[in-house]
Structure 1
Amino acid sequence: MDLKKKKQILLDELKSFGFSKNVIGAFSKVKRENFIPGNLKHLAYKDTALPLGFGQTISQPYTIAIMLDELNIRKGQRVIEVGSGCGYVLALLSELVGKKGKVYGMEIVKSLFEKSKRNLKDYENVEVYNQDGTKGLKEKAVSHEQKLKGGFDKGKLGSLYFDRVLISARTEKIPKELILQLKENGMLVAPIGNNIKQDLVVYEKKNGKLKIKKKIEGFMFVPLVG
């Protein structure tokens, strides 16, 4: 069976789970085979995580679909992914935010960062950084207006600029900088737990603090490095 047919089967499976049309549309536009090692391309549309090397993986499509669906991303938004790996999720995010939106990826493993840069060369609304993702991207979290006023002011909610934050590696707690750089009423999704048990947790920022909206059990992610 060729990749086109395998992809359609995967899309039909994702549709059967009730994911939004926007999320399904993003999956239909992005070629997963372009983001995985050549010897695994025949598995590109199998609903499973795949190894990327360097102790990292590309997540299972079903898991990614849950995260993207829970983020409820809209056109024109600014989104940051921490632990962006090979860039596959960044490509999906690019489709979700559209041309007027902006996507930022942070990958600490240099070889994966370089690979993702190559993978995403045609995505004009995506920027990738080889930095510690736990610190976020303060320089990108500040609005143009706030820059003119003197930069980042943690005391002013209006200066916080990421609409959505996605952490694609497990952590026991959300880094403070990422909370700070998330807009008021913004959404954050992250796998929370240890190497034995993890929940995918959906947060909303209210009055400067993260409030849990939902917990989904039964996930396994590689650890967040930072």
Structure 2
Amino acid sequence: MLVLTDFGKRFGITLAVCLIAALPLRGMAKDTPAFRQLRLKMVKNVVARDGITDEAVLSAIRAVPRHEFVRTSLQKLAYYDQALPIGFKQTISPPFVVSYMTQTIEPKPSDRVLEIGTGSGYQAAVLAEIVDHVYTIEIVEPLGKSAARRLKRLGYDNVTAKVGDGYQGWEEYAPFDKIIVTCSPEDVPQKLIDQLRDGGKMIIPLGERHQQVFYLFEKQEGELVKQQLIPTLFVPMTGKAEDERQVQPDPLHPRIVNGGFEAAGNEEGRAEGWHYQRQNQRILVQAPEGKAYMQFQNDTPGRGSQILQGFAIDGSEISHLDISLFVRLEAGRKGPLQYELPAIYVYFYDQSRQVVGDAVVGPWTGTFPWKEVRETVKVPRHATEAILRVGLNGGLGTLCVDDIRIAPR
């Protein structure tokens, strides 16, 4: 996932307020009552509330000390539902995303699971709490070696890790009951298909650099049966997969995909092109443009209600972005924190995926009918990527938006 280093701190992703008895933890390491409390709160008020119901998955997320899998300087953010940088242009995925991927493959205690993209080892640890054995591959050598040491130190003896190109899979231990891919190629690597046992399941984010969708594949009599799930955004699968990528980002012509919310390409009716969708609904009546618009509703202070979309941008050539949209607001008001307001926030990242700047369109409060908003934001010179975050952002009320567009200057 892309780096959102101040995601929780600035927008107050809500943590629960009640305590639950802590579960035993492998190795214990530097886990503390304070970290356990935060972890249990996160599971109740974010992971479970947003749709994770598999008790084995919830127990695993409660058990694994996520703060052990991030940099020491970022441990205070470990139990916000956000991606965090782990170095080498890579990130640790948000806990909800890890939970969603794990639940989707329906892990069983007898399973042997292949993970592509070890990162810091968090997803492997979550799987290891549930299944018989996890085999995990990381292409970035320093990350792969440090993750292997970390998993061993924490007592995850049922994880086998190696450094290599996940595009090739791990034939030595195939076939696998389940495969989880935590980086995004354009297409499913053939060797992963070959190494999935008949009846096995694989979840993988597929698509262009900033436009990806989770797919669940099940192997039936040697053939893959495909199910499209929800939009997402992961770092690209590097190595051979990146060499074979046909569609490259166009940083000189940034654009918003499906800014009018006309396209919905999955069973849940979610808008295509937008990921990390929370407390939002696509409405198909009386849109100011086209047939659809997006509505956000929240009555819990600090709870996330938003959609996100990433795009490439060349800050050395583009100095400003013109942003326009239609907005309607009912009883819009601030959440507990300063930045918890109905608005569009734009985050800019450099080539190392570090934040180099941000901007805001709005914020808005009160009640008003549909109106057109046009604003211009400055693009940092070193920006190579950006994320647009649209919604209530922890604020309260009902926000409606339509026809979101960007134009470079």
Question: Shorter-chain TM-score: which interval?
Answer: 0.7 to 0.9
Residue identity opposite 2:238 in structure 1: V
**Pairing of 1:124-163 with structure 2 (within 5 A):** 124-141=157-174, 161-163=175-177
In the alignment, which residue of structure 2 is the partner of 1:34? 68
Tell me the equivalent position of 2:128. Answer: 94
CA shift, 1:80, in A, is 0.4
Residues 164-223 of structure 1, C-alpha deviations (whole Å, 9 max, x = no match): 001100111011011000000100000111112110111111121211133212x11000
The DSSP-based 3-state class of the residue aligned with 1:28 is: helix
Between structures 1 and 2, the one with greater helix share:
1
Q: How many angstroms apart in 2 are the aligned matches of 1:76 and 1:206?
A: 20
Q: Which amino acid aligns with 1:189?
A: I
In the alignment, structure 1 residue 3 sits paired with structure 2 residue 35: yes
Partner of 1:72: 106
1:184 aligns to 2:198 (yes or no): yes
Count of matched residue positions in the alignment of Structure 1 and Structure 2: 203
Q: Work out the CA distance in 2 between the residues paired with 1:8 and 1:129.
A: 31
Deviates more, 1:112-121 or 1:205-214: 205-214
Q: Which residue of 2 aligns with 1:52?
A: 86
Amino acid across the alignment from 2:66: R
CA contact (8 A) 2:213 2:228 kept: no
| Higher Rg | 2
Q: Match of 1:89, as an amino acid?
A: Q
Q: Tell me the percent identity.
A: 35
CA shift at 1:33, angstroms?
A: 0.6
Does residue 256 of structure 2 align to residue 223 of structure 1? no
Q: So what's the TM-score if we normalise by structure 2?
A: 0.49
C-alpha distance in 1 between matches for 2:37 and 2:63: 14
**Structure 1 Cα separation of the partners of residues 70 and 122 of structure 2:** 9
2:125 is the alignment partner of 1:103: no
- Pairing 1:197–2:197 present: no
CA–CA distance in structure 1, aligned partners of residues 165 and 49 of structure 2: 37
Quote the Cα distance in structure 1 between the aligned partners of 2:56 and 2:233.
25
Q: Which residue of 2 aligns with 1:154?
A: none
**Quick one: distance in 1 between partners of 2:228 and 2:71?**
34
Provide the aligned C-alpha RMSD in A: 1.2
How many angstroms apart in 2 are the aligned matches of 1:221 and 1:213? 19
Distance in 2 (CA, whole Å) between partners of 1:196 and 1:110 is 25
Residue identity in the other structure for 1:179: I
CA distance in 2, matches of 1:118, 1:139: 22
Question: What's 2:336 paired with?
Answer: none
Q: CA deviation at 1:4?
A: 2.8
- 2:119 paired residue number: 85
Which amino acid in 1 is paired with 2:59?
Answer: G
Give the TM-score normalised by the residue count of structure 1. Answer: 0.87
Map Cα deviations across residues 82-130 of structure 1 (whole Å, 9 max, x no partner): 0111111100010010xxx111000010110111011111211100010
Aligned partners of 1:124, 1:110: CA distance in 2, in Å? 20
Q: Return the letter of the residue paired with 1:11.
A: V
User: Take 1:198 and 1:162, find their aligned partners in 2: how far apart are those partners?
Assistant: 24
Secondary structure of the structure 2 residue equivalent to 1:96 = coil
Task: Report the equivalent of 1:172.
Answer: 186
Which stretches in structure 2 are left out of the alignment for 5+ residues? 1-14, 16-33, 240-409
| Matched position secondary structure for 1:192 | strand
Alignment correspondent of 1:18: 51
